[in-house]
């Protein structure tokens, strides 16, 4: 029996379990850096398949992680995870929000090293509780208030585990090494940089990521270009409050400093070397009309077609923030909350994936995406692999979404889970299969 047939049969045999896993994760969503229960499920499954499993600080550099919640929030989520069935000993080892997991399998004969990346976190969204919303109607909507898998990461994690099981089943026919990367905190592009900085993909020859998206079931975007580099950051201005009528000269107005910064950030010159974006998405300040505001909080993002032009926008924005603070004699603290590199598929790898997909004949449309127009921190893994001479690719899997990503009514056609499982398993096994001398 050839690989394609074996993989297809294995994926079909795992279909019910994959859907069951997806629905369990959907019912128990966890936001970035709090994926304690999800990570425990991943760790135990990978161990049961025979993988060498590393997690926590073994797979990330803490100083490179961004937007980690405070200790009280982490503790609350650790307790919740345990109450919902997570292994308390494993959870304890993830203290500090260190929820990344990597499963590694070395095969008997030398060969290529490949990595597959899957994100695990959910969105900060209250899920729809209406009969027209299938997860609610069929009893697997979120029980964690304010958390919802509204971007398909529950599906990604479930597919990752299914592929890991298939690869383990076929290991006698494979050579080299495979790594399954289960990443926390993709939302807000916070998690990949810390894992990439640990060097977990530095020996990787081929890296692959994927996302369930809006096109109809049967669609495959195999050649993805145009991930925008981005920086997400906050600015907190601190001044001096005073009575606005009696002693205005004794105040130092943080609101005015922040407002000037917001206006001038929008005026940054765009770059001739590629598309750039900048947005001040939030500005909160002040207490009441007769008090000089002594604080202001801003949330800002920059984006660029390349990491270089994004860095230009980011540097300009920081300079403006500091200059406006100095102009009004207030202080400003700038905090990085997330970032991603620019990213494009490696051309040769995309051609290879096209050939596999064509051969499998399970997709009815194979497409190139020349400008995806958003940001995804899988790009950090892609960039690192490509910088070390390897190849990387990102795929868009059509899943006939019921609503756009990050929407309270988000859901997808679960047949896409099996299609993605077959495709990723086939790509991995084709790269790793033993070659005749």
pLDDT tens-digit readout, 357-396 = 999 999 999 999 877 878 999 999 999 999 999 999 999 9
Task: Examine the domain organization and report whether 33 and 119 are in the same domain.
Answer: yes
Same domain, 271 and 221: no
Task: Return the bridge partners of 236, or none.
Answer: 297, 333
- Residue 186 CA: distances (Å) to CA of 60, 148, 181, 190, 349: 14, 14, 12, 6, 24
Give me the percent of the chain exceeding a pLDDT of 70.
99
Query: What per-residue confidence (pLDDT) applies to 373?
Result: 79
Is the predicted pLDDT of residue 51 greater than 80, yes or no? yes
CB contact at 8 A, 184 and 33: yes
Q: Are 52 and 160 in a shared domain?
A: yes
Q: Of 161-165, 168-172, 367-371, where does mean pLDDT reach its minimum? A: 367-371
Residue 184 has pLDDT above 90, yes or no: yes
Position 437 pLDDT exceeds 60: no
Q: What share of the chain is helix, strand, coil (3-state, %, to 5)?
A: 40, 25, 35
Do 372 and 356 lie in one domain? The reply is yes
Same domain, 120 and 152: yes
- Half-sphere exposure of residue 121, counting CA atoms within 13 Å on the CB side? 24
Is 162 in the same domain as 265? Answer: no
> In the listed set 339, 362, 388, which residue is the last one of a domain according to the structure?
339
Range of the domain at 235: 229-339
Nearest 5°: the CA angle 217, 218, 220 is 110
Spatial separation of the C-alpha atoms in residues 280 and 300, rounded to whole Å: 4
Among 56, 17, 16, which Cα is nearest to 35's? 56
**266 in the same domain as 184:** no
pLDDT tens, residue by residue, 394-434: 999 999 999 999 999 999 999 999 999 999 999 999 999 97
CATH number (domain holding residue 329): 3.30.70.360
Q: Answer whether residue 437 is part of any domain.
A: no
Q: Which of 321, 339, 357 is the last residue of a domain?
A: 339
Mean pLDDT (the chain) is 96
Decide: 59 and 182 in contact? Cβ < 8 Å: no
Q: How far is CA 62 from CA 66, 194, 256, 268, in A?
A: 9, 6, 35, 32
Q: Maximum CA pair distance of the chain?
A: 89
Per the CB < 8 A criterion, the answer to whether 301 and 232 are in contact is yes
pLDDT for position 15 = 98
134 and 155: one domain? yes
Task: Using alpha carbons, select from 231, 229, 232, 210 the residue that is nearest to residue 369.
Answer: 210
How far is the CA of 317 from the CAs of 119, 186, 280, 334, 397, in angstroms? 30, 24, 10, 10, 36
CA 188 to chain centroid: 8
pLDDT at 81 (0 to 100) = 98
Q: Which of 397, 437, 408 is nearest to 156 (CA)?
A: 397
112-160 residue pLDDT tens: 999 999 999 999 999 999 999 999 999 999 999 999 999 999 999 999 9
Q: Which of 229, 231, 303, 297 is nearest to 261 (CA)?
A: 297
Looking at 316, 339, 362, the residue that finishes a domain is: 339
CB 41 within 8 A of CB 160: no
Strand partners, 178: 105, 114
Q: Does residue 85 share a domain with residue 195?
A: yes
- The model's pLDDT over 214-259, given as tens digits with 9 standing for 90+, comes to 999 999 999 999 999 999 999 999 999 999 999 999 999 999 999 9
Q: Give the percent of the chain with pLDDT over 90.
A: 97
Number of domains in the chain: 2
Q: Considering the domain boundaries, does residue 358 fall inside one?
A: yes
pLDDT given at position 350 = 98
Task: Give the whole-angstrom CA distance, residue 168 versus residue 174.
Answer: 9
Give the per-residue pLDDT at 135.
98
Collapsing DSSP to helix, strand or coil, 290 comes out as: coil
Do 214 and 358 fall into the same domain?
yes
Interval 312-323: pLDDT, tens: 999 999 999 999
Task: Report the 10 Å Cβ neighbour count for 367.
Answer: 15
Please tell me the predicted confidence (pLDDT) of residue 436.
Answer: 58
C-alpha–C-alpha distance, residues 328 and 322, integer Å: 10
132 with 171, same domain: the answer is yes
What pTM did the predictor assign?
0.95
Q: How would you classify the pairing of strands 391-398 and 206-213?
A: parallel
For the chain, what is the radius of gyration of the CA atoms? 23
């Amino acid at each position: 029996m050839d690989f394609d047939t074996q993989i297809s049969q294995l994926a079909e045999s795992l279909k019910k379990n994959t859907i069951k896993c997806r629905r369990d994760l959907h019912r128990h969503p966890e936001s970035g850096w709090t994926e304690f229960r999800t990570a425990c499920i991943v760790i135990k499954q990978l161990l049961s398949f025979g993988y060498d499993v590393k997690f926590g600080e073994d797979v990330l550099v803490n100083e490179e992680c961004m937007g980690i919640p405070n200790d009280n929030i982490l503790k609350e989520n650790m307790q919740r995870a345990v109450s919902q069935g997570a292994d308390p000993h494993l959870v304890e080892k993830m203290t500090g929000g260190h929820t990344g997991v990597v499963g590694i399998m070395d095969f008997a004969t030398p060969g290529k090293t490949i990595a597959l990346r899957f994100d695990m976190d959910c969105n900060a969204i209250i899920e729809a509780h209406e009969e027209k919303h299938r997860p609610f109607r069929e009893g697997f909507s979120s029980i964690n208030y304010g958390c919802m898998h509204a971007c398909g990461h529950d599906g990604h994690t479930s597919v990752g585990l299914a592929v890991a099981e298939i690869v383990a089943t076929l290991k006698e026919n494979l050579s080299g090494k495979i790594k399954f990367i289960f990443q926390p905190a993709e939302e807000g592009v916070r998690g990949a940089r810390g894992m990439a900085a640990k060097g977990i993909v530095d020996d990787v020859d081929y890296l692959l990521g994927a996302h369930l998206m809006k096109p109809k079931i049967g669609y495959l975007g195999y050649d993805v270009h145009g991930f925008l580099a981005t920086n997400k950051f906050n600015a907190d201005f601190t001044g001096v409050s005073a009575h606005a009528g009696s002693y205005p000269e004794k105040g130092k107005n943080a609101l005015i400093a922040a407002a000037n910064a917001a206006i001038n950030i929008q005026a940054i010159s765009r770059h001739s070397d590629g598309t750039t974006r900048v947005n001040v998405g939030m500005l909160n300040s002040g207490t009441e009309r007769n008090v000089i505001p002594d604080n202001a909080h801003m949330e800002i993002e920059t984006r660029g077609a390349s990491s270089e032009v994004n860095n230009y926008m980011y540097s300009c924005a920081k300079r403006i923030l500091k200059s406006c603070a100095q102009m009004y004699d207030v202080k400003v603290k700038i905090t990085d909350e997330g970032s991603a590199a620019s990213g494009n598929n490696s051309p040769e790898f995309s051609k290879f994936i096209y050939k596999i997909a064509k051969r499998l004949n399970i997709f009815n449309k194979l497409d190139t995406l020349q400008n995806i127009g958003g940001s995804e921190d899988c790009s950090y893994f892609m960039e690192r692999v490509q910088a070390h001479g390897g190849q990387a690719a990102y795929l868009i899997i059509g899943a006939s979404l019921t609503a756009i990503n990050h929407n309270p009514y988000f859901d997808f056609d679960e047949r896409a889970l099996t299609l993605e499982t077959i495709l990723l398993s086939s790509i991995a096994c084709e790269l790793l299969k033993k070659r005749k001398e």
